[in-house]
Structure 1
Amino acid sequence: RKVMLVATARRYTMEQIEAARKKLRSLPVKEARKTRGEVAEFLVNDIKKAMRQGYTLRDIRDLLADVGVSVPLARLEGLFEKAPKPELVTDGEGSGKDTDLPGDAGEMGKQESPDEE
């Protein structure tokens, strides 16, 4: 003899659903921590702005370390590996422009407008 078991759908009361909703809505925001690479990517526009203002990647690494954020110089350099390093362009080598940063092509005259968001 074979007994066939039929699965029955589990049913919940509106009270249970409301309790679940209340629990979910009262959850505090979890602290989202970022890796070194994520920090560098998250701050890339601010790093570009600092570089336009004359700061080197070493300066930026040190400034980040001052606030407890340790991002290796190699990680910062990796953000710009597909473009000439701005500190090399500014010392007279390269295209003759002040700086060429990724994503800034043709926008050199727009430096006055802040990149803050």
Structure 2
Amino acid sequence: MATARRYTLEQVEAARKKLRSLPMKEAGKTRGEVAEFLVNDIRKAMRQGYTLRDIRDLLADTGVSVPLTKLKALFDKASVLEPVKEQEGAEEDTPPPHEGNSNGEWGSADGV
């Protein structure tokens, strides 16, 4: 049977110092993250008449490769969420319910 390896406190402290001194590692963004990060700018370009294909080509010119299918999927997901936002906005425009009776008096309709 194998015996468990034991480490000294000095080794553990040295490992801790090394881990704590590590700089932040920049991993960059994935294609999907780039598309989500730029979604508002992409929407603006679409309102200005650019198609998703135009936008994909423009992004490719800057060295950012986002497939057309990824862009379409992002906006399919966004379009599913938009009706919910519209409903929320409609609720904000709805006036509060009338309080009091038809004469503007407080209390129940039977006067109690």
Alignment of 1:62 with 2:57, yes or no, is: yes
CA-to-partner distance for each residue in 1:43-82, whole Å, 9 max, x for gaps? 3344334434554322321221122011122221121235
Runs of 4+ in 1 over 6 A off after TM superposition: none
Report % sequence identity: 70
Structure with the bigger RCO (C-alpha within 8 Å, sep 6+) is 1
Provide the rounded CA distance (Å) in 2 between the counterparts of 1:37 and 1:61: 13
Contact kept in structure 2, 1:80 and 1:102, CA below 8 Å: no
TM-score normalised to structure 2 length = 0.50
Distance 1:102 1:46 in 2: 18
Q: CA RMSD in A?
A: 3.3
- Structure 2 match to 1:23: 18
- Taking the aligned partners of 2:45 and 2:34, their CA distance within structure 1 comes to 15
Going from structure 1 to structure 2, the CA distance change for 1:18 and 1:46 (only over 3 Å counts) comes to farther
Note closer, same or farther for the CA distance 1:52–1:12 as it changes in structure 2 (3 Å cut).
farther
Q: Which amino acid aligns with 1:10?
A: R
Change (3 A) 1:11 1:69: same
Q: Is contact 1:64-1:71 (8 Å) kept?
A: yes
Distance 1:46 1:22 in 2: 43
Alignment of 1:72-111 (within 5 A): 72-81=67-76, 102-103=81-82, 105-106=85-86
Count of equivalent residues: 85
Q: Which has the larger radius of gyration?
A: 2
Q: For 1:83 and 1:19, how far apart are their aligned partners in 2?
A: 49
The reply to whether residue 37 of structure 1 matches residue 39 of structure 2 is: no
Identify unmatched segments of 5+ residues in structure 1: 85-100, 108-117
In the superposition, the TM-score normalised over structure 1's length comes to 0.49
**CA distance in structure 2 between the aligned counterparts of 1:34 and 1:16, rounded to whole angstroms:** 36
* In structure 2, C-alpha distance between the alignment counterparts of 1:82 and 1:25, rounded to whole Å: 40
